[in-house]
């Protein structure tokens, strides 16, 4: 579980750069053969599908546009990994 409190993503502490706090949950699980010949694992990242920002800021360098830009975090993702050792 990853918890992040709110923070400002720019030095000027603009209300447009404040990123609200959020919590993310990841799961990983798997099985493997005792001699290490194969390993099967599954993973789920952001299993609650939390919508969150990595950063936000206003366009201070472009005052005529009045833009607020930001980068959103990863959505719910999942997958399976199979590893095999052929030695």
Residue-range definition of the domain harbouring residue 44: 2-84
In whole angstroms, give the CA distance from residue 46 to residue 49: 5
73, 54 in Cβ contact below 8 A? yes
Please list, in sequence order, all residues whose beta carbon lies within 8 angstroms of the beta carbon of residue 15, skipping any fewer than 6 positions away.
Answer: none
The alpha carbon of 18 is separated from its chain's Cα centroid by a whole number of angstroms, namely 17
- pLDDT at residue number 10: 86
Q: How many structural domains does the chain have?
A: 1
Residue 64 confidence class, pLDDT cut points 50, 70, 90: low
pLDDT digits (tens, 9 = 90+) for 35-60: 989 999 999 999 999 999 999 988 76
With a cut of 70, say whether residue 61 has pLDDT above it: no
What predicted TM-score, i.e. pTM, was given to this entire model? Answer: 0.71
pLDDT digits (tens, 9 = 90+) for 2-36: 999 999 998 888 888 999 999 999 999 999 999 98
In whole angstroms, give the CA distance from residue 17 to residue 68: 8
């Amino acid at each position: 579980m990853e918890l992040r409190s709110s923070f400002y993503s720019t030095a000027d502490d603009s209300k447009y750069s404040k990123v609200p706090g959020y919590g993310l949950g990841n799961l990983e699980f798997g099985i493997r053969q005792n001699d290490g010949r194969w390993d099967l694992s599954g993973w789920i990242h952001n299993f609650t599908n939390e919508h969150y920002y990595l950063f936000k800021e206003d366009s201070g360098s472009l005052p005529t546009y009045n833009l607020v830009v930001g980068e959103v975090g990863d959505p719910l993702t999942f997958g399976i990994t199979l590893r095999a050792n052929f030695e």
